[in-house]
Amino acid sequence: MIEKIGDIAGKIYQYLEKNGETSVLKLKTSLKSSNSLVCMGIGWLAREDKVSVKDAKKDVKVSLK
């Protein structure tokens, strides 16, 4: 499972590099992954201080630092 989380974290990072700030929902659909796996990947990147996470009206926005 750790390998899957690390893999999705890398895909999230690459997506954000290319597309900029986006919502968790958009990441989930664009990467064709489950909500829980995307959230774990974001957590991984947040722990490494690579992303910023902020509340939006109906979703959470994620961007690179």
Rounded-to-integer distance, Cα 45 and Cα 28, Å? 15
Reading the block at residue 62, the tokens are 């994620």
Counted domains in the chain: 1
Find, among 1, 45, 7, the residue nearest to 24 by Cα: 45
Segment 14-56, tens digit of pLDDT: 999 999 999 999 999 999 999 999 999 999 999 999 999 999 8
Which domain range does residue 55 map to? 2-64
Neighbours of 38 (CB within 10 A): 24
Whole-model pTM: value is 0.92
CATH of the domain at 23: 1.10.10.10
Rounded-to-integer distance, Cα 34 and Cα 31, Å? 9
